[in-house]
Amino acid sequence: MKIIVFGAGAWGTALAVSAARHAGGHRVELWARDPAQASAMQAGRENARYLPGIPLPPALAVRGAQAADLTASGADLIIIATPMAGLRETLVALQDCQAAVAWLCKGFEAPRADGSGSVTGLLGHEIRATVAPRLWAGVLSGPSFALEVARAQPTALVAASEHASVREALVRAFHCSTLRVYASDDVPGVEVGGAVKNVLAIATGLCDGLNLGLNARAALITRGLAEMTRLGLALGARAETFMGLSGLGDLVLTATGD
State residue 59 phi and psi, 5-degree precision. Answer: -75, -10
Classify residue 110 by burial, with Cβ atoms within 10 Å: 0-12, 13-18, 19+.
exposed
Catalytic annotation, pick one of 16, 82, 197, 200 = 197
The alpha carbons of the chain give a radius of gyration, in whole angstroms, of 18
Cα–Cα distance, 78 to 68 (Å, whole number): 13
Residue 2 designated active-site: no
Which residues are catalytic, by number?
A: 197
